[in-house]
């Protein structure tokens, strides 16, 4: 099934786990660092839906890639959020691991910095595991529904 971006936004609004981030003229939802916003453009009388990745972009959130939009439109809000947030976690773990490798090879070693990076890595691994478990449950529930 193929969803319009507005249908994906409606799915996000119905998701009891997503957080309401409405700020007129925008309506929005946020889950695992993925934000979807709907803005009604008065001049053009069109609803414009945008999906942002709050884990990338620094001061300004980055809009997701066309491939990511394709995932949301093909599989829906929850599936897209799980896929994108797992990707974010993997990238973050790779980045922290690279920092740890570099810092542990330095002389003198910054022990407190290394400890903090290790805590952050463990926290991110835990989040990745939690999201993976929820994603697997989501897939099994939806797979069971599609078989009936």
% of the chain with per-residue pLDDT over 90: 78
Over residues 90-142, the pLDDT tens digits come to 999 999 999 999 999 988 999 999 999 999 999 999 999 999 999 999 998 88
CA–CA separation, 77 and 74 (whole Å): 9
pLDDT score of 120 = 96
pLDDT score of 46 = 81
Least confident stretch, 30-44, 61-75, 79-93, 121-135: 30-44
Kindly list the domain boundaries of the chain, sorted by start residue.
5-76, 78-147
DSSP string of 15-83, one letter each residue: -TTSEE--BTTEEEEEETTEEEEEEEETTTTEEEEEEEETTSSTTSPEEPPHHHHHHHHHH-HHHHHHH
pLDDT(143) > 80? no
């Amino acid at each position: 099934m193929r969803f319009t971006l507005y249908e994906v936004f409606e799915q996000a609004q119905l998701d009891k786990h997503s957080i309401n981030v409405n700020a007129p003229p925008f309506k929005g939802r946020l889950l695992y660092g993925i934000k979807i916003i709907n803005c009604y453009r008065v001049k053009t009388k069109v609803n414009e839906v945008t999906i942002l990745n709050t884990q990338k972009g620094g001061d300004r959130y980055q809009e997701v890639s066309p491939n990511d939009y394709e995932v949301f439109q093909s599989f829906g809000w929850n599936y897209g959020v799980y896929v994108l947030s797992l990707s974010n976690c993997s990238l973050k773990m790779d980045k922290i691991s690279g920092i740890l490798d570099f810092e542990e090879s330095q002389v003198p070693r910054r022990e407190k910095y290394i400890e903090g990076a290790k805590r952050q890595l463990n926290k991110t691994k835990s989040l990745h595991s939690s999201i993976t478990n929820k994603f697997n449950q989501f897939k099994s529930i939806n797979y069971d529904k599609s078989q009936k």
